[in-house]
Amino acid sequence: MSEARETRLFMISPRSMLTPDQLVRMVHAFGEGALVKETCYGCLVEGPRDLVLRIRDKVREDYRNEVFTKIRAYPCSDPRRCRAQHGTRPGFAQLEEEWALLAKVQHGLDQVDKGAKYVAPAEKKRISVNDFKKICEVE
């Protein structure tokens, strides 16, 4: 992973009351000097890797289960990807799909924080021949 530049995408869960505008203002208020770009789903933050990770940790302090992040391969406003310069957005369909999933994941994280544990689903067993015969006879 590149140490020099990291572009990170912050996406707000649809279950959250946070808006992209509030998120961007909050990141600006950290005063870290990273490049921040507001988007429809949250924001993009770009800067040296350690700086971006610091911003991620600060955002998580306030909105632990409401804001999700991943890195983005292309830098902000890259002409190959930026819509303002007629770039293609091949990753947007995936983001849209994940956005719908985030509400459920947020609920999952909240419950796990409260102590929910994984319970393996009951294993499905095959019905015995005799039981099956009984069902058939009733029919």
Partner 1 sequence: MKVFIDPPNSLVLFDLVERFGHEPLSTMAAIQERVDNIEVDMPPMNVTLDDVVRGLKYAGVEVPSGVRGRLAMWGPLIEEADAAIVMDDCPYSFGCVGCERSNLMVKYLLKRRGIPVLHVSYPEDDAQAVSFVAQTKEFLEGLR
Per CB under 8 A, the segment of 19-27, 28-36, 103-111, 123-131 that binds partner 1 is 103-111
| Separation between Cα atoms, residue 32 and residue 47, nearest integer Å | 9
| Separation between Cα atoms, residue 12 and residue 112, nearest integer Å | 19
Residues in contact with partner 1, shown as a per-residue x/- string from 36 to 75 under the rule CB under 8 A: ------------------------x-------xxxxxxxx
Residues 6 or more apart in contact with residue 138 via CB below 8 angstroms: none
Block residue for tokens 């302090």:
61
Enumerate binding residues for partner 1 (CB under 8 A): 1-2, 4-5, 7, 9, 11, 60, 68-75, 78, 80-81, 87-88, 90-91, 93-95, 97-98, 101-102, 104-105, 107-109, 111-112, 116-119, 121
